[in-house]
Structure 1
């Protein structure tokens, strides 16, 4: 039953990175567009994301609930030592949701629409940035599990882990990844003029993801961050990353050609390979603290709780996943089911 819970934990995290990441990325694409292209993107986002944007974020809730119920030690470390970026991330999610609704449904159309547009774009950029920094804080090795005392200041315990250059680089990587996922998604959701724009942005985002990813690895290797060092010392993880790098070439040409189905498939595969490589290299020691690591399998919930959680997740999966499939199919976001798709 424990492996059932672990599967859902990884699966929910993967879906949140892909679906939630594409959701955040829509605002980032809009942010880095010309005024004219922002208008096109705004209409496209409303039509494409409007019906499903809330469903995209159910997966982070599942991740949090699984950690809270099944792995309380990990949950405690996150909410205590990283409460500042978590609060900023939740604030960003809230402001983004408010801005998304009011910029389309406000009863009075006035200059406040400009405020909502700006708030949506900025929060779409900041939120994934903090999400990446939270992950960076968890794997940076800078977390101090001991309480604040004469030897460890408030800054050392609650700010340093997520505000280091390494954590910021990971935040930048995830932000770029979100823009890439969104641009690839929007290629198949726009008219011919907009399609060319999103193809161009997806190609630029691919290059940015590659460059920032290189910075993360280069910085991690140079300063001997355990998270990066362990990955390059794990043959299977290196193989997965190598495959990911090789697949960038066909993906680049698929994006350039505007191929909707296969560009989305390769984009999702890229995320899967990166997450799997990190998972294989570090499982079960996902959180790296000052001088050591914390095993995900230590101090977990009792077997009865894990079994109940696993059964609940299986039942919920049988209900939620078909519903999600039907939702995406209804709004024609599953292009593989459409005929004559380019």
Structure 2
């Protein structure tokens, strides 16, 4: 049953990166739109993301609950040593949700709409940056597992692990990934000139994503970050990255042709390869501290806890996943290949 729990843990992570990433990325795309395109982008986001945006946070909640119940040692490290960035993430999610609702449903349209717009855009950018920085802290090797907290300063324990150049690069990489996913998704939800706009944005964010990924790996290797070194020397991870790089060729072709469906699936598949490459290189030692590496499989709760959790996840998955699929298909978030439908102008 442990494998069932691990599957749902990794599956929830993947779906949050994909769906939550596209959700955050919509605001980033709007932030970097030209003044004359901001209104068009905003209207498209409401039409496409509005019905399903709140459902994306289900996967973050499931992810945290699984960590809390099945992997308490990991959960303790996260909530104790990374409480500052995660509080900022929660504030960003809250600000974004408030702005998303009030700028659309506020009965009085006045200058406050300007503040709501900027609140939505800025929080859409900083939230994935802080999420990425939190993950960077887990693999950066700077977390100090203190036994005597009085021997260290607040900065050493709770700021330095996540507030550095490496984690910032990880955060910017994830933000660029979110914008890439959102702009690619929106290609299939628009027509004519508007679709051309999102095709260009998808191409730009693809370039930004590749450049940031290259800079991140080079910087991590130069700074002797263990996670990056193991990543570079792992043939399976390198093979997954190579497959992701090869997919750039059909992806660019699909983006250039403003392909509705192929660009979406190729972008999602790229994320799968990148995430697999990152996790495979060091699994199950996902947390790397200043003194040691922590295995996800150490310090597990009693077998009965894992057994009950696995059963509940299977039951919950059987209820949630079909409903989510129907919801997203109903609002066009999931598209199925059809002959002739995937070409521009048809």
Question: Partners in 1 of 2:269 and 2:174 — Cα distance?
Answer: 15
Find the counterpart in structure 1 of residue 201 from structure 2: 201
Tell me the equivalent position of 2:13: 13
Alignment partners' CA distance in 2, 1:253 and 1:184:
13
Listed one character per residue, the Cα deviations across residues 214-245 of structure 1 (whole Å, up to 9, x for unaligned) are 01100011111011001112111111111111
- By how many angstroms is 1:341 displaced? 3.3
Alpha-carbon shift at residue 101 of structure 1 (Å): 0.3
How high is the TM-score relative to the length of structure 2?
0.97
**Partners of 2:148 and 2:208 in 1: how far apart?**
38
- What TM-score do the two structures reach when normalised by structure 1? 0.98
- Residue 77 of structure 1 is matched in structure 2 by 77
Note if contact 1:148-1:157 (Cα within 8 Å) is conserved in structure 2: no
Asked if 1 retains the 8 angstrom alpha-carbon contact of 2:30 and 2:121, the reply is yes
Shift of 1:152: 2.6
Residues 140 and 167 in structure 1, CA contact (< 8 A), matched pair in contact too? yes
- Aligned-pair CA distance for 1:250: 1.6
* Counterparts of residues 62-211 of structure 1 (less than 5 Å): 62-147=62-147, 149=149, 151-211=151-211
What count of residue pairs does the alignment treat as equivalent? 342
Q: What RMSD over aligned residues (CA atoms) do the two structures have, in Å?
A: 1.1
Q: Report the Cα offset of residue 150 of structure 1.
A: 5.8
Q: Which residue of 1 aligns with 2:37?
A: 37
Residues 23 and 49 in structure 1, CA contact (< 8 A), matched pair in contact too:
yes
Work out whether residues 335 and 341 of structure 1, in 8 Å CA contact, stay in contact via their aligned partners in 2: no
Between the aligned partners of 2:191 and 2:274, the Cα distance in structure 1 is 32
Task: Give the ranges of 4+ consecutive aligned residues of structure 1 lying more than 4 Å apart after TM superposition.
Answer: 147-151
Q: Report the CA distance between 1:23 and its aligned residue.
A: 0.4
Per the alignment, residue 237 of structure 1 pairs with 237
- The answer to whether residue 4 in structure 2 is matched with residue 4 in structure 1 is yes
2:229 and 2:15 map into 1 onto residues whose CA distance is 27
Unaligned runs of 5+ in 1: none
| Cα offsets for 1:143-176 (capped at 9, x unmatched) | 0011464653211110011111000000000000
CA contact (8 A) 1:238 1:277 kept: yes
8 Å Cα contact 2:262/2:342 also seen in 1: no
Deviations 1:224-272 (A, max 9, x none): 1011001112111111111111211221111111112111111111111
Per-residue Cα deviation, 1:262-317 (whole angstroms, up to 9, x for no partner): 11111111111111112211111010000311010111121101011111111111
Q: Aligned equivalents of 1:337 and 1:243: distance in 2?
A: 22
Distance 1:283 1:310 in 2: 20
